[in-house]
Every structure is written in C-alpha cells, then in structure tokens.
Structure 1
C-alpha cells in the first residue's frame, strides 16, 4: 500500500471553500473580514489494534501511533469522558462555499497580510500524528473538493513536492508549518481555550444531552463571547481591544445578514438566525465590559495576565 504522497498547490482555490480555523489573535487581526466563533468538535480516541480505513488505504494502529496521539491530546485537546477540540474559527454562510479572504481571481486576498497559519498547514492535519498523515492525504485526495485539482498525488512526482513519505513529513516547509500550528494551538490553550473548557464544563461537556448537539464528524459552533470575556479580564487594554473587536464584528454581522437577505435563499435562514444570536451575545458582552471598565477605574485594579495583553496587542496593528 502506498503511504507516500506528493503535493503541489495549483492555486485553484478549491480548498478555500469555507472560513478557516484561526487563532484568536488572527481573528483580532482581521475583525472586518472574518466573523469569529468557537468550534467544538468530538475527537475519536485511538486504541492499539484499531483499523483505520480511507478508501483502499488502511492502517492498523500500534502502540507508537496511539502514544503519539496521546501526546497531541495532552497538549492540544480536552478530556471530559470523550476527547474534544476547541478552536477559534471563521464563520460564514455555507451557501457561499468560499473563504471570506478568497478574491475573485481565486487567490488569497490576505496572503501577505497575516494569512491564517492553518492555511499553511493544508492539506495536513495538526491533530493527527505524523505517522498517519498519509491517511489524511488519502482522504483529501479522494474528496469531491480536491477531485480534478491534482494537488494531492500518491507516490513521488517530478512535478510536485514530496510531502509525506512512509510515516514522516518529508517536506521541510510543511513540517515547519505543522509544528508552528501545533505550538499556536498550545498557546491558545494557555491564553483562553482551557479557561473556556472549564467555563463550559458543567453546561456542555458534563451533559450528555448538550453533547448530543455536536454532530458526528462536525462541529458545534458557538459565539466567541466566552473567549472574549476570558481574555478581557486580563487587563484594561485587553478589555479595550475586545470592545473594539465587538464593534467591528457587529458591523460585519449586519453587513453579512443584509447580503444574505438579498440572496433570498431558504438554506441561509438558520445561519442568519445564528448570526443574530451572535450579535445579541456580543451586545450583552460589550455592556458587561463597559461596566467592568467603570468598576476598574473606580477601584484602580491592575492587569493579572500580561502575557494575554501582549498576545492580543501584538495582533492589532
């Protein structure tokens, strides 16, 4: 079985068919382009001897594969009975079938202005051990999105970079991007995702009924507000940045809804309803932050997490 894949990006834009996963800092860098949300996914746990099938490709997991997954889970994922991913995510109408940063010519409009790191990782998956990335590529190569693009090819090719070769990431640029994305997710954990996990534990992660809202193979998308409230508590500067971000998001959501109403698509209605919910949550959060600013000004309290202030301040230019 061929476990070697090559990759050559043709800049066709087919993989840019939805908003990407992003760090909170990346969302703050593009507040007028990407509507932010939190995406929560259920991640399957692996066991030695388990067989994974992707088309004609198969892998029987061994102890090393499962140990590698556990290392990723310990640093990037969250456990509450099951295992979960919590990431910041761009959000938009699926009917548009495009990333908000995709220009009319099929190229990325922000390629040189802070393109999300996750885009550099494509077509690899940072939550999958390196030894099994060939299965990720086999799945992507056979998906309807990639069919005809010929960007993912089995074996070694003269016209494409060798990406994965028998359980290792062969391309140095891809290896570096994968490592940087994993470090970014680990940093997100320290900045806000661990705090959000704990805040949502009783209402979501410890509730079987609530967890049923997470679709198999998909994500539960919720407002970004829990993340904003968490980082806003770090300092007055963080709170100001969060209020500015909320203002930009409210304007962007309003524009997006107006455009959707013009399209008159029935399948847009659930997303419009969810966006209105996001906007309502943002307005309530802004009121809380404004009240907190008044209290802080009166009491003279100081920043507790200068690392978070540096993280958000560095994202805003």
Structure 2
C-alpha cells in the first residue's frame, strides 16, 4: 500500500522513544503550565503557499504535499489549515506565493536531539504533554487529505518501531481520523490557537516598528521574513512573549514572576550540567535576562532591558 492509496491506517505506539528527538513545539497558551518543565523559546516561522493553482510551482507543491485530493481543493484545504494557526498572511507577487506567519513556542533541548523528558524511552510528563505530542502521528498542522501520506512517512522513518499491523488500533479511514483522542487533541490545538490570537497580534504590533521591537527584544516582522527567505526560523526567549502579555494586562505580576522563577530554576540546572561553551553562553544570557526582568518587577516595572537572544533554527515545513 502506497502513501496515496485509499484505505485504512492502523497505528500503535510501542514506546520506542525514537520520535521524541527534540524538544516539542507548542502553542503559546500551553507555555505557562509547562514553564516548570521546559526552557521555552518563542518561535516564528513563515510558510509559503502558491498564490493559485496556476502558479508556476503549484504542481510541484501539490506533489510534495501528497494530498489525496486535486490541486485546487488541496490548496484551499491547506489555506484553511494554516489560517487557523497563522497570525498574518501577506502576498509575495514576484514569487507568486502567499506567506503565512505562525507564532509558537519551542521547548529547548540544547543540542541533545531528544526531549528533556524522555526517560528510558518513556515520556516522564505523559499526562501533561503538549498538544503536539498528543496528535502523534496525525499532527494538527497537517490537513486531512495529507494525513495518510504523512503517517506512512512517519512510521517509515529509520529506527522507528511503530506498530502498524492490522491488530493495531485503526486511526485513519481515508481522510477521517478514527482515533478519538487524537481528533480531540487536534480540535483543542485549533481552539488554543484561536484563544492565543490576541496575544500574537500584540506581539506583531510590537514587531512592525523597529523601535518597539527593539524595546520588546523581539525581531522585526521584516527580519523574520528575511530569515525565512534564507531558510531559517527565528527564535527568542519566551520571556519576550510573557512580558508582552504582562504589559497588555492579560497576565498578573504574580503569574509573570512565577514563570520567570520557574524558567530560572531550569536554566540554572542546565548551566550546572552543560559542557558546550556556546550553549553555556546562551544560558548565561538567558539567566541575566530573567534576573533583570524580576529585578524590574520588584522595582515596579517588568520592562527592564535585557540581552537580545535571537537564534537561527532550520526552517521546517
């Protein structure tokens, strides 16, 4: 059975731990509850789509997408899926594309290439794991018509030991997700993104002006686009987003202090075990940033300047 064949897909996790090969990505609204579990970065990614089915790269895009439906509805489906999570859409006429900016968060693994909470190939925080983990192997960023191909590629990854035998639970029937928990987690992710929309819009307002972006220690929107054109996502410490939420009045001073102290405890632990000089410097800079924000909070201001920590990460689809 090929990735594009109609039919059913069976799947069961065998707890091999192979897919837990990085810190998980998550929606902004998940970060507060997980601030004592992960050192978290704020992540900006730009996704490109053909402007129409007549665009020069529409057919290659459709083949890469491995959608089970024709090009035009596949493009419309992808637009709807990205639209649920994207904070801004712009048109790039010279390249015949639409660009969608997504703002999310990423748990840092500091180059270890494994989730910090993978212990003996098992998830140590399974009960409170992020939505991105709850939708494995039918991730919520993927539109329904591409899920069969995505699942086939996932289970075919060298080293993965997923159970796809007929005796494993049925998870996908054509474009319909049969696994109720995964379907509910996908819906929860869309609802979470909708609830976070105001927070993200506030960040974008700060990013549109170089002066306010610099004061908030955020990249400008134009800088994010430039990074994307060079093949990279943009990342800064999650502190910038929490500070913006605090300044917008949507986060209390007590809650802001709480997440800062939780991040500081994790950062201090990483400093105690890190052996990589580059990672160590980043950790020291992050510690200074959180220390200064807490100092500013004690002095009646949560907006003290701190070191800008903009990193480049490979841009993944």
TM-score with structure 2 length normalisation? 0.75
Partner residue in 1 for 2:291: 283
More moved, 128-137 vs 42-51: 42-51
Aligned to 1:97: 113
Q: Could you tell me which residue of structure 1 aligns to residue 5 of structure 2?
A: 2
Q: 1:210 to 1:41 in 2, by over 3 A?
A: closer
Secondary structure of 2:118 counterpart: coil
Task: Note the alpha carbon deviations across 1:211-243, whole angstroms, 9 max, x for none.
Answer: 333487763221112211122135596221111
Which residue of the other structure, out of 150, 161, 176, is the alignment partner of 1:149? Answer: 161
Q: What are structure 2's unaligned runs of at least 5 residues?
A: 91-98, 211-218, 303-317
Distance, in Å, in 2 between the alignment partners of 1:41 and 1:273 is 25
The answer to whether the 8 A contact 1:23-1:184 is kept is yes
Root-mean-square deviation over aligned CA pairs: 3.0
Give the structure 1 partner of residue 25 of structure 2. Answer: 21
Q: 1:259 to 1:224 in 2, by over 3 A?
A: same
> SS of the counterpart of 1:213?
helix
**Kept in 2: contact 1:223–1:281 (CA 8 A):** no
- C-alpha distance in 2, partners of 1:236/1:216? 35
- Are the aligned partners of 1:72 and 1:129 in contact in 2 as well (CA < 8 Å)? yes
> Which of 75, 83, 86 lines up with 2:103 in the alignment?
86
Cα offsets for 1:234-257 (capped at 9, x unmatched): 559622111121122122112102
Distance in 1 (CA, whole Å) between partners of 2:5 and 2:161 is: 20
**Which of 185, 191, 195 lines up with 1:187 in the alignment?**
195
Taking a change above 3 Å as real, the CA distance of residues 40 and 2 of structure 1, as seen in their structure-2 partners, is: same
Which residue of structure 2 aligns with residue 108 of structure 1? 123
Change (3 A) 1:205 1:80: farther
Contact 2:245 2:251 in 1 (8 A): no
In the alignment, the residues of structure 1 paired with residue 29 and residue 84 of structure 2 have an alpha-carbon distance, to the nearest angstrom, of 19
What are the residue-to-residue correspondences of 1:91-240 with 2, within 5 Å? Answer: 91-94=108-111, 96-103=112-119, 105-112=120-127, 114-144=128-158, 147-151=159-163, 153=164, 157-190=165-198, 192-203=199-210, 204=219, 206-207=221-222, 210-214=224-228, 219-235=233-249, 238-240=252-254
**Runs of at least 5 residues in structure 1 that lack an aligned partner in the other structure:** 262-267, 295-317
Shift of 1:83: 1.3
Structure having the higher helix fraction is 1
| Number of aligned residues | 277
